[in-house]
Amino acid sequence: MEHDEVRALADAYLDGEADALARTGIEAHLAGCAACRAHLAGTRAFSAALRAEAEYFEAPPALAARLAAAGRATIRPAPRRRSAWRPLALAASVLLTVLLAGGVGYVGSLVGPQDRLIQQAVDGHVRSLQAEHLTDVASSDQHTVKPWFDGRLDSAPPVRDFTLEGFPLVGGRLDYLDGRPVAALVYRHRQHPINLFVGPAGASGAGIALATTRQGYNLRHWTAGDLSFWLVSDLDMTELASFEALLRRP
């Protein structure tokens, strides 16, 4: 089984919905593919975080009772002549009643592309710390780190060392964001590791610059030319903004 097939079946596999043949093929592939194991770990972590953080809203009892009564009132013998849309309207009414009366927080759990990418960037940062796999190439020499990505990515990321400014380059590795391989450049400020994910702008969703916090980690995102940058660390947001300014400097 190839990478694309494994990732296409990842959700079904993690939910226990893949058939026996598919499970066997996926597990055989995972045994020899660290990249796909990391992809599945990120998907699993994102699903767990989504279930933990999604907001649920329960309709007030009086509103739920009115909606339920309205739903029952619509279920009556149909007139001899009815328009084609009536069954659809009835189904929508019943579905709305079930959702609200049952307190299902479906709307609260919807996640947009930008939010999904924020979570993936944070998951990638956490994964690198937990697995003690910050770097595939460990060096503070930009002329060593940048060539390492040749042949591993469509284009090599811009790599610079900022030791004199207090942000030394530690090295780099391959990671995944939005289902595509990206460069992860690793820096450090005092004892704080910093991950800078660099990939094609098209792989990062909206190109809007942002600064946010997720799971105790600070994150900053921007685009420059055809590249997208995701900066993640437990470093103070003000210091992280200072590092972003260094990275943006010509």
d(CA 182, CA 196): 10
Token digits for 78?
Answer: 């149909």
What tens digit of pLDDT does each residue of 49-99 get? 555 555 555 667 777 677 777 766 655 555 555 544 455 555 555 555 544
Q: What is the DSSP letter of 15?
A: T
d(CA 124, CA 158): 20
> Rounded mean pLDDT of 18-40?
77
What tens digit of pLDDT does each residue of 158-206 get? 999 999 999 999 999 999 998 899 999 999 999 999 999 999 986 444 5
User: Among 129-143, 150-164, 193-207, 213-227, which is the least confidently predicted range?
Assistant: 193-207
Give the range with max mean pLDDT: 7-16, 65-74, 116-125, 206-215: 116-125
d(CA 58, CA 67): 13
Over pLDDT 70: what percentage of the chain? 73
Query: Exposure string (b/e) for 170-189, b if CB count within 10 Å is 16 or more?
Result: bbbbbbbbbeebbbbbbbbb
- pLDDT at residue number 184: 97
Query: Exposure string (b/e) for 27-64, b if CB count within 10 Å is 16 or more?
Result: eebbeebeebebbbebbebbeeeeeeeeeeeebeeeeb
pLDDT at 124 over 70: yes
Phi, psi of 16 (to 5 degrees): 75, 20
User: Among 26-30, 62-66, 100-104, 213-217, which is the least confidently predicted range?
Assistant: 100-104
